[in-house]
Amino acid sequence: MKSPGFTCWLTGLSGAGKSTLGIEITQALEQLSLPCEYLDGDVIRTNLSKGLGFSREDRNTNVARVGFVCGLLNKHGINTVVALISPNRDSREQLKLQIPNFIEIFIDTPLEVCITRDVKGLYKKALAGEIPEFTGISSPYEPPLNPDITLKTHKETLNECLEKVLNYLRERGQI
């Protein structure tokens, strides 16, 4: 019987570095010959959660759907890496109860830094009032109270962040 997998859940503001780091973690796990699936918020919104808006309820539904998929994959020994803003603390806390090997990784990057990294122009539109319910501007982001790992992508290199995650997984016996 396969060992259950784990879920590395990267949460933080848009532009914090979740996707970049999520891809790096996934590639590192694959290089260790560990089965892994990467789930990115933008791709999820286009496919699994198409039609959902950005109300608190819809955001929580999105998080719950992704969590459900992670739980299924983990049950079959497939590790998951998720890059999803997931702004509501209560929805992330619910995942901790449902996913046995859930690792919450908070990408703690200040809003000002995220705005400067705005390659898609979303913050510019949100600040101009063109995007309602934009996390960090017109909709709140609730930081984790006790994340498993906190990374500061504005102070740490990508490699330093990756090593922190891999070291944590080693310490837990996950890799």
Q: Does the annotation flag 17 for ligand binding?
A: yes
Answer for the pair 15, 109: CB distance below 8 angstroms, yes or no.
Answer: yes
Q: Does the annotation flag 22 for ligand binding?
A: no
Q: Does the annotation flag 138 for ligand binding?
A: no
Q: Does the annotation flag 13 for ligand binding?
A: yes
Answer for the pair 23, 38: CB distance below 8 angstroms, yes or no.
Answer: yes
Give the 3-state secondary structure percentages of the chain, helix then strand then coil, rounded to 5: 45, 15, 40
Q: Does the annotation flag 12 for ligand binding?
A: yes
Q: Does the annotation flag 53 for ligand binding?
A: no
Q: Catalytic positions, please?
A: 86
Rounded Cα distance between 42 and 117, Å, is 17
Binding residue numbers for ATP: 12-19
Known binding-site positions: 12-19
